[in-house]
């Protein structure tokens, strides 16, 4: 079953308006224009679509919150700032099927009575930016966006906004600050963006993949959608497979697929012997080979002590030194910490320092305990999700591969000969 990649996976599909219309594009918008706001929101709610950005918040509920708010104007903001290492799913939609996103945003705007939408796209996604820009022009020219869309009394325009290389802007409140022309640093929540969002107005903030489900839900009905995949989070999901796997790529699969099926049936099996797997990028906790039977939905992965996040599945084989991998994760977060709150700003640097020392044979016996303590402090006291999960992968490596750390620290030796101890 394909919902998100149904067009992209067709041969010779170009993603321009002509192709999109040929595949039934903008029919959902036409249908939505004849529906009441309540009816659209009811369909999205009954689909039980969960936000695909990582948090898994019910999409319909979010729309309803904004719909009921009295503040005007209201905004639809699309988060196209995927930056979690290992995530490359939204890029596919942005580059190859941009109209799908525009149509979904227009449906959302119609539901919550908004006339203005914004797409915040990563600065690094040059191609995605170009293709969206072209698509917006096409849609405006053909009255799928703009004033009095398709002869109705509904008007909606979409502006494109480029990020400039800050991972933290993928966090929704940091993204809003960045959109307002400020440094991308998180806000205190609550209030949530649904109530106090862009320019302090009620705002729906959805991920690209979440929105890309909307046209199918409007056309097929919420109930149809809710019966697909796992009952806890229905529908399909884009899984990004990378690392030590034979066929890396983006795979759209029903959410009741297991990790094993994803790696073996789609990914052609691991490259080497599996040592560890990150199911949700470098912010998630490591799973092991014994966890391969886990269902790839938010709830099941959480029960295994990790998180699905954006669906960035990174496979790591047994030639990799987990201390080295943990160090790499720490370096990433130390670089990307925005500096607003002390626990994350200082903690990520400290973690990087400790892990670097361990890899060069300068680790000390108390370092593991110190890292665990750091993880707890960051989890409890950081302002936003970036800080809270910055040391999660490292912590799980410490717990699942204690021998490796011990040998680096006590014997000053990397068992796999990867680190320069």
Partner 1 sequence: MKEITEILKTYNRQREALLPCLHAIGKKYGRLTEKMAMLLAKELGLPPTEVYSVASFYSMFRFKKKAKYIIGICMSLPCYLKGSKDILAVLKKELKITTGKVSPDKKFAIEKVSCLGCCDKAPVMLVNETRYENLTPRKVREIIRSYKEK
Q: Which of 58, 146, 220, 249 binds partner 1 (CB under 8 A)?
A: 249
For residues 216 and 355, which CB has a smaller minimum distance to partner 1 in the complex? 355
Asked if 248 is part of the footprint of partner 1 (rule: CB under 8 A), the reply reads yes
How far, in Å, CA of 98 to CA of 20, rounded? 9
* Kind of pairing between the strands at 236-243 and 312-317: parallel
Q: Which of 71, 73, 123, 417 binds partner 1 (CB under 8 A)?
A: 123
Asked if 201 is part of the footprint of partner 1 (rule: CB under 8 A), the reply reads no
Q: How far is the CB of 328 from partner 1 (least distance, A)?
A: 5
- Binders of partner 1 among 74-93, rule CB under 8 A? 82-88, 90-91
* Kind of pairing between the strands at 203-207 and 75-80: parallel
8 A C-beta contact, residue 32 and residue 218:
yes
Q: How far is the CB of 87 from partner 1 (least distance, A)?
A: 7
Asked if 242 is part of the footprint of partner 1 (rule: CB under 8 A), the reply reads yes
SS3 for 295-326 is ECCHHHHHHCCCCCCCCEEEEEECCCCHHHHH
- Binders of partner 1 among 361-420, rule CB under 8 A? none
DSSP 206: E
**How many residues sit in the footprint of partner 1 (CB under 8 A)?**
50
**Residue 353 corresponds to which tokens in the numbers above?**
């320092």
Please provide the DSSP assignment of 244-301 as one string. SBSS-EEEEEETT-BHHHIIIIIT-SBSS-EEEEEEEEETSPPB-GGGTT-BSSHHHH
Q: Which of 13, 65, 161, 264 binds partner 1 (CB under 8 A)?
A: 161
Q: Which of 336, 347, 371, 408 binds partner 1 (CB under 8 A)?
A: 336
Q: Which of 63, 125, 286, 298 binds partner 1 (CB under 8 A)?
A: 125
For residues 328 and 345, which CB has a smaller minimum distance to partner 1 in the complex? 328
Backbone torsion region of residue 118, taken as left when φ is above 0, otherwise alpha when ψ lies between -120 and 50, otherwise beta: beta
- Binders of partner 1 among 281-300, rule CB under 8 A? 282
Asked if 332 is part of the footprint of partner 1 (rule: CB under 8 A), the reply reads yes
How far, in Å, CA of 2 to CA of 252, rounded? 7
How far, in Å, CA of 199 to CA of 130, rounded? 26
Q: Which residues bind partner 1 (CB under 8 A)?
A: 82-88, 90-91, 122-126, 161-167, 178-184, 240-244, 248-250, 278, 282, 312, 314, 316, 320, 325, 328-329, 331-332, 335-336, 338
């Amino acid at each position: 079953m394909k919902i998100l990649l149904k067009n992209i996976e067709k041969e010779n599909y170009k993603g321009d308006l002509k192709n999109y219309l040929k595949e039934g594009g903008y029919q959902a918008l036409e249908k939505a224009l004849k529906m009441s706001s309540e009816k659209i929101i009811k369909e999205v709610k009954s689909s039980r679509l969960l936000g695909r950005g990582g948090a898994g918040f019910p999409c319909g509920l979010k729309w309803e919150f904004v719909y009921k708010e009295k503040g005007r104007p209201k905004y639809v903001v699309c988060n196209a700032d995927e930056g979690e290492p290992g995530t490359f799913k939204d890029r596919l939609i942005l580059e190859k099927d941009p109209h799908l996103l525009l149509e979904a945003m227009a449906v959302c705007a119609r539901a919550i009575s908004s006339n203005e939408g914004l797409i915040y796209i990563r600065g690094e996604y040059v191609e995605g930016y170009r293709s969206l820009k072209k698509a917006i022009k096409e849609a405006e020219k053909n009255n799928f966006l703009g004033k009095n869309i398709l002869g109705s009394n509904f008007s909606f325009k979409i502006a494109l906004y480029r990020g400039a290389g800050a991972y933290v802007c993928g966090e929704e409140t940091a993204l809003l600050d960045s959109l307002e022309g400020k440094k991308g640093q998180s806000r205190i929540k609550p209030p949530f963006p649904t109530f106090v969002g862009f320019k302090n107005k009620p705002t729906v903030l959805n991920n690209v993949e979440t929105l890309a489900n909307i046209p199918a839900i409007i056309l097929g009905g919420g109930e149809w959608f809710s019966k697909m995949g796992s009952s806890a989070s229905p529908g399909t999901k884009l899984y990004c497979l990378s690392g030590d796997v034979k066929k890396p790529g983006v795979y759209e699969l029903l959410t009741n697929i297991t990790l094993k099926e994803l790696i073996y049936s789609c990914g052609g099996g691991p490259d080497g012997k599996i040592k560890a797997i990150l199911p949700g990028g470098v912010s998630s906790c490591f799973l092991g080979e014994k966890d391969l039977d886990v269902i790839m939905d938010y709830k099941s992965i959480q029960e295994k002590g990790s998180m699905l996040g954006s669906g960035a599945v990174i496979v790591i084989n047994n030639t990799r030194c987990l201390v080295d991998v943990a160090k790499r994760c720490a370096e990433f977060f130390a670089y990307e910490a925005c500096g607003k709150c002390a626990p994350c700003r200082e903690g990520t640097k400290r973690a990087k320092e400790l892990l670097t020392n361990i890899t060069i044979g300068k680790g000390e016996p108390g370092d593991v305990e110190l890292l665990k303590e750091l993880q707890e402090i960051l989890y409890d006291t950081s302002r936003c999700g970036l800080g809270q999960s910055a040391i999660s992968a490292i912590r799980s490596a410490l717990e699942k591969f204690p021998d490796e750390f011990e040998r680096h620290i006590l014997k000053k030796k990397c068992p796999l000969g990867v680190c320069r101890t």
